[in-house]
Amino acid sequence: MEQTELFLGLTRPARFMGLPMGFFVGLIITGMVPFVAFASMKFLLIIPFGYGPMWLLADRNPNFFEFLGVVATMTPMTRRRRVNGGDLYVS
């Protein structure tokens, strides 16, 4: 059942300009925030040059940003966080 066209069509992520919404929002924020902050047109070049690598990454794994969000929220903090000044997972 999980391989039928109907199931795959209903469970795929929403896309805008060929990119899943998380990828598209990340790409636009990466280009627009520095453009607004520094008022320099060169930061808008991030968008067309970043589209290709983002498309390739989205083609490989369309749920990449959801995965990063789950990892960031579900990874427990270390016990010695105050001593190290941050989480240190290397032994």
* Per-residue 3-state assignment (H helix, E strand, C coil) for the chain: CCCCHHHHHHHCCCEECCEEHHHHHHHHHHHHHHHHHHCCHHHHHHHHHHHHHHHHHHHHCCCHHHHHHHHHHHCCCCCCHHHHCCCCCCC
Instruction: For 14-66, write each residue's pLDDT tens digit.
Output: 888 888 888 899 899 999 999 999 999 999 999 999 999 999 988 888 888 88
pLDDT at 49: 95
Contacts (Cβ under 8 Å, ≥6 apart) of 34: 40, 43, 46
Phi, then psi, of 75 in degrees rounded to 5: -75, 125
What global pTM score does this model have? 0.64
Domain residue ranges of the chain, discontinuous segments joined by +? 5-84
Tell whether the model's pLDDT for residue 91 goes beyond 60. no
pLDDT at 55: 92
